[in-house]
Structures are given as C-alpha cells and as structure tokens.
Amino acid sequence: MADYRAPVKDALFTLRHIGQLEELSKTERYAHADYETVASVLEEQGRFMQEVFGPTNAIGDREGLKWSPEGVAVPEPLKAAYAKFVEAGWQGLNAEVEYGGAGFPESVFSVAAEFETAANGALTMAPGLTTGAIECLQAWGSEEQKEVYLRKLVTGEWTGTMNLTEPQAGSDVGLCTTKAVPQGDGTYLVTGTKIYISFGEHDMTDNIVHLVLARTPDAPAGTKGISLFIVPKFLVEEDGSIGRRNDVKCVSIEHKMGIHASPTCVMSYGDDGGAIGYLVGEENQGLRAMFTMMNSARIAVGIQGVALGDAAYQKALVYAQERRQGREVGGDSKEPALIIAHPDVRRMLLFMRSHIEAMRSLIVYNAVAIDFSRALEGEEAEQWGEIAELLTPVTKAWCTDVGMEVTSTALQVFGGMGYVEETGVAQHFRDMRIAPIYEGTNGIQAMDLVGRKLPMRMGGVVGDHFSRIRALDAELAAAGEEFASVRTQLAASVDALEEATNWLMNNGLADPKQALAGATPYLAMFGIVTGGWLLARLALAAKGELDAGSNDTAYLSAKVTEARYYAEQHLPRAAGLLGAVTAGAGDLFAVDAESLASV
C-alpha cells in the first residue's frame, strides 16, 4: 500500500497562479502570508499529515468506533494523532489572530485541509467541523461567547459540531421541531433530537461545543423561526473550568459504508428536563448564522473530492509502475510489461491527474475570492464576494462528483485487486461516497446555482464570470500552436455554457420547474468549463516560466499537456450536456410515479 505524500509543489504552484498569493500578501490583512512563509507552513503541515494522520487512516477504517451509554470511544492511535494535532497548533491556521489563530488566508487553508483530508478523511471531520464552528462564532458570537468557547475551539482543545438535521427535517430545515425555552436568566432549555451529527460524541477532547438549531416559543413557522444555540457537552464555570455534564447525550451511532472512524451520532437533548443553551446572535436569525458554518462546510466537502481523489491516484500510480500484465503494444519485448505502458492505463492516470489539478484550482479560486472579499474594500470586495457566492455550490457539487469518478478510476487501475480491501484504494472510494450527499446533496447545490446564484445582479455575476473566461483568449492565441486546441475548445465550451445559462434564465422565469429539471447537468457544464479555464491559466503560467528559462522542464511541460488533454478530451463534454439542460421537465413528468415501477 502506497503511503500518501502531500503534493506541496502542486499546491504552491496553484496558490501562486490561481490563488494570486503575491497580490494577496500585499494586502494589510494577509501581509504575513508571503510565499516563503506559506511554503514553509505547507511543507511542515504536509509532513505532519503524512507522518501523523496518514498511518492512522486504515486503522480507523478497520477498527471503527465503540459506542456505549457513556459515550463513543475513538481508536487510540487516532486519539494520539489528534492530540499531536492540537499540540502542533494546526486547528487555528485560518482563525482570527485576536482569538489565538494564525490568520492565514482561506486559500492557503484550503490546500492544508486537502493534505489533512487525504491523510485521514474520517479523523479530519473533527477539526473540519470545528473550523465551521469557529467561523460561525467569529461572525455571530458575543464577546463573552468568544472568550469562553472560541478560544478553546481555535486551539483544538475543544471540538465543535453543527446540529441541523432531525428525523423529519433533512435538507428542509424549516421543519425543525427542537425547542428552546428561555429561562429568564439568559439561558434556554433545549429539548429535541438531532441525527447525522458528525463527531457529536467522542473521547478526544474534554468538551464538545454543539451549535444547535431550535425554535423558541411563538417563533414564526418555517425557516424564519429558527434560532441558533451553543449547547456544550459540559457546562463551563466562571473561571473557565469544566463543570457538570449538560443534558445532552449520544443515544446511538450510525453504521456506514465509509468514514468508519467518524462517529455519526443521534443526539438527544433534554431527556432529563432540558439541555442548557446560549443564544447565538438574535432569536429567529439562526439560519443566517448557521449558513456561515454551512458555506464553510460546503467548500470543505468539495476539498474532500480533490483530497481523496489524490490519495487514490497516488496509490494507482504506484501500482501502475509496479504491476506487470500483458505485452506492450508495439514493443519488442515478449515479457509482461508494466501496466503504465498500456494506453488505457495512461488514459486513466491522465484523467485523474488533470481533474485533480482542475478541482484544486477551483477550490483555491473559490477560497481566494473569500480572501479578497475580506482583505479589500468597496466595489472590489463586493465583486470578489460575488465570485465566492457563485462558485460555492459548484465547488461542493462538481468536486465531489469528480472525486467519485477519480476514486472509482483509481480502483479500476488496480483491476481485481482494487476490489480487495488490503490495497487501501477501496477505502478512498467508500469514504468518498458520502461527500456528494452531505451538507446539501449535489442536486440541492445545482438548484442553488440555478435558482439563487444565476439571478444575482440580474445575471451580471455569471456574465462577469464568462467574460473573465473569454478574456483568456488573447493570451492563448499569443501562446502559439501548442495552445491552439485549448483555445478552440475553451471558446466553444463557454459558448455552450452561456447558451445553457440564457435558456435557464429565460425559461426559469416562466416555469421554475423547467430550469430545475436541467440544473444538475448545468452544474456539471459549469464545473467542466471553469475547470478547463483554470487549467489553461496554469498551463500559460507554466509556459511563462519555461520561456523565462526555468530548468524544471518536465514538471512545467506536464502542466501544458494536462491542460491540452483536458481541453481536447473533456471540455467537449460540456457542449454535449446542452441538450440535457434545455430538455425541460416534460419527459420527467410524462410517466406517472406508478408507471415507473417495473413490477
């Protein structure tokens, strides 16, 4: 089984040319994030994840978790790894300096999170959710809440959770029935049941800070009547010490196809009268606060696509360089050849490699848009904020769909051995399968893109995105013949995407069902085209370095090849999806539900 190696060189190349690290480090907010500092941080963080988190990945998958009425026991090697993670201070990499964080940009954090997730995706769920809780409390918490809870979350001494889902309220959180009754002293008694709560219970930290959606008495129906509460596992005394156990417990954990070391909990609040909770922000504003955490989580889930995809790719590449099977086509030797010599294996490897680069580039671009929206002011900040809003559903959905394809392709490279657990690649495939589902299924992300994001600024935001893609045409033309196919295919694909966009906006106004029927293929188109654009930018940057005399010829030339391969073999898929986008809802509802049954 090949050991994971953090792709620091690729990450830094992407940060320089997609993440605009040099420009970002010129802002006052991120002046400390210069290239040399970032490179040093990522080298060390990548080494840590390889050496500390990586060796525990298979152990957690194999041993799983132990539930009892007293709590959930995490395998000892994972507990030890997490303790080292806290000691090293990695949790607060992107948290505000004021509360003990390092204050690094989201773009830098995104590749650090990739290394972390690739090394051990299940264990990373704990710090990942804690990051969301940190961002939520940074934005919405009171100063007292920040002092009591935020500082401990930033260090990783305590972990955070996100409690939305209930048995009757999945994606439709407006159906939430958990209650929060004010006690007249600033506290609330919370009662209800939450399901699918990742790391809702564990024994890695002294306390767990649950962020819980609930309704106060006489709250309006639906999403307008939801409030957000801090409900700690243990109450905190005035001196900051751990107090008595709160009225919250994990009544069971789910048995899942993957992420076996991540406890997915059924949480019960108030079995003995009510769990003490503390309002975050104002009553009935809980969904706004929770979406701060949700948007962070959606990008984090997108990161799982590139992370687990790269971990699987690395295993497949090593196997292809070691496994002998069949004779090389056109070769002289009668001996079995390494399978990497076979065209179809090369196709699979290049498919994985190019899509990993495209996913990483999209994530970094989405993240740096958040960075610039925070670091700049006025109209510039607003424009970058719009880019981040537009791309978040694409990052979540496209990267996880592609992550599934990449992990499945890696398994295919192994042939029959890929279906055998001891190779390790099957775990990545199983772990990856949840990502298109949670934090809003990919169908919901597509609906968000079409229903909420395309109409932003009367279509101006998505129009600006297309203009930025088209603006690369002049550079591609100047780059010469080796970029000719990239230029041609990118132009054709963005034309098709714009045609699909216009159809959706025109027909969606008259009948939203027509637009939503094509939302999923549309999001795929959007991801494919945006990925091709970002790969073209990387390739142009690589050519620029070669023209400037760089000796890293093989590495930089590969960037150009990857962009050309993607443009020639995958960008045409975007135009191929146009018919699916514009087909409308007619056929989807032409057959009644009973007739869909085959018996």
Digit-coded pLDDT (tens) for 507-521: 887 889 999 999 999
The region, left, alpha or beta by phi > 0 then psi within -120 to 50, assigned to residue 111 is: alpha
Contact 38, 13 (CB under 8 A): no
Mean pLDDT of all residues belonging to the chain: 96
CB 162 within 8 A of CB 228: no
Backbone phi, psi, residue 328, to 5°: -70, 130
Is it the case that residue 405 has pLDDT exceeding 60?
A: yes
Mutual orientation of helices 76-88 and 121-140 as an angle, nearest 10°? 40
Buried residues in 107-121 as b, exposed as e (16+ CB within 10 A): bbbbbbbbbbbbbbb
Is pLDDT of 34 > 70? yes
CB burial string 415-432: b at 16+ within 10 A, e below: eeebeeeebbbbbbbbbb
The amino acid sitting at 482 is E
Tens of pLDDT along 15-24?
999 999 999 9
Up-side HSE of residue 99: CA atoms within 13 Å toward CB?
27
Residue-wise pLDDT tens digits, 84-124: 999 999 999 999 999 999 999 999 999 999 999 999 999 99
Q: How far apart are CA 210 and CA 191, in angstroms?
A: 13
Are 125 and 99 a contacting pair, CB within 8 Å?
no
Strand 71-73 relative to strand 66-68: parallel, antiparallel, unpaired? antiparallel
Q: Cα(81)–Cα(76) distance, rounded to whole angstroms?
A: 9
Residues in the chain: 599
* Catalytic residue (one of 166, 386, 439, 562): 439
Q: What is the pLDDT of residue 1?
A: 60
CB atoms near residue 484 (< 10 Å):
14
- 599 pLDDT band (50/70/90 cuts)? low
> Which amino acid is located at 18 in the chain?
I
Tell me how far apart the terminal alpha carbons of the chain are, to the nearest angstrom: 45
Give bridge partners of residue 162 from the DSSP assignment. Answer: 211
Residues 369, 105 contacting (CB under 8 angstroms): no
* CA separation for the pair 18, 592 (Å, rounded): 47
**Is 439 assigned a catalytic role?**
yes
Is the pLDDT at 304 greater than 90? The verdict is yes
d(CA 307, CA 356): 8
